[in-house]
């Protein structure tokens, strides 16, 4: 298992659109993934679960990945959680 920390950078936090991109990036990954914020945990394959963490800009999370190519997946998720998304309104 690998754990990496990420700090949310998006101005509006991780809302519906970024969450959808994160879920899509996980795809059919065969391993276990969890996102941890303070004392809350969520499976990032669940839109409601991930959004329930309240990931506002500046929130620090831990991404736990256990499975094949876990370092690659953890790095990919860290990059996504730290992305400045620029969605048009």
**CB of 86 closer than 8 Å to CB of 80:** no
In the residue annotation, 12 being an active-site residue is answered as no
Question: Which residue among 9, 15, 49, 85 is the active-site one?
Answer: 15
Q: Give 32's strand partners.
A: 66
Q: Give 37's strand partners.
A: 40
25-28: long-range contacts (C-beta < 8 A, 24 or more apart)? 25/76, 25/77, 25/80, 26/73, 26/77
Q: Where are the beta strands (DSSP E) in 8-89?
A: 32-37, 40-42, 60-66
Residues with catalytic function: 15
């Amino acid at each position: 298992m690998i754990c990496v920390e990420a700090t949310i950078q998006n101005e509006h936090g991780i809302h519906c659109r970024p969450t959808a991109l994160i879920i899509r990036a996980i795809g059919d990954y065969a391993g276990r993934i969890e996102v941890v914020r303070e004392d809350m945990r969520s499976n990032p394959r669940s839109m409601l679960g991930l959004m329930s963490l309240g990931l506002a800009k500046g929130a620090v999370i831990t991404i736990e990945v256990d499975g094949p190519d876990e370092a690659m997946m953890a790095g990919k998720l860290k990059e996504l959680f730290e992305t400045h998304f620029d969605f048009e309104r």
